[in-house]
Each structure stands twice: as structure tokens, then as C-alpha cells.
Amino acid sequence: QITLKESGPTLVKRTQTLTLTCSFSGFSLTTNGVAVGWIRQPPGKALEWLALIYWDDDKRYSPSLRGRLSVTKDTSKNQVVLTMTNMDPVDTATYYCARFGRAGYDWFAPWGQGTLVTVSS
């Protein structure tokens, strides 16, 4: 069974740096083709892709947020860490991590439960 779970602060202040951890089980981030992605969803709004990190450490970032995002992995701990700098109230959202792969059935499947991050001004 594949599971993912996001953890991190629920409240950050404007201009601070957000660090979120995705802890997963049931798959390995050393397997060819496997990746973990981050997606966020502001309250009442649509999903927005943020970042991907692949098994070979290839990293992709949303162009609209590139420069503020960094993603790293620790394969020994089965964890992926997302860092977002210079947080603003518009970054208030539920942040999800999900497995991502090429097979199709693993295209952002499954997702973690999400963690709501509120940015105060």
C-alpha cells in the first residue's frame, strides 16, 4: 500500500520561509521513472502544480514560482522536502504531495492528505 503524508507548520508569517516534508511508504524514490510532486490548492480555488523531483534527482519547478522553490529528497528516510521562500498571504493553501510516474496509473497517484498552511500578514 502506498501512502504519503505532508508535515510542517500550519502558520507562517509573511516573508518567512516555509519548509514542508513529505514522508512516504510503499514505493522507492530510487526506482527508475519514479518522482514525487508537490501541488497546492488555495481555499476554494484550483489545483496548482509546484515542483517535481525524480529518482535521478532531476528537478522541475513551476515557472511562476521558480526562484522561490527548492525540492530535495532523502531516499534513506523516504522523504521529500519542499522549501518556499518569501511567503505571502496569497500562498495560503493546502499543500499536497503525490507520487508521480510515467506509467500513467501513477500520474499523481496517490496523494497525501494535504496540510493547510496559513500565511499571516
Nearer to another protein, 11 or 47 (CB): 47
Number of residues this chain uses to bind another protein (CB under 8 A) = 22
Closest distance of CB 2 from another protein, Å: 12
The DSSP string of 22-69 is EEEESS-TTSTT-EEEEEEE-TTS--EEEEEEETT--EEE-TTTTTTE
What does the block give as the cell for 41?
Answer: 490548492
Nearer to another protein, 15 or 25 (CB): 25
Alpha-carbon distance of 90 to 77, in angstroms, equals 31
Nearer to another protein, 90 or 121 (CB): 90
Which residues would be at the binding site for another protein (CB under 8 A)?
37, 39, 46-49, 52, 60-63, 96, 104-105, 107-114
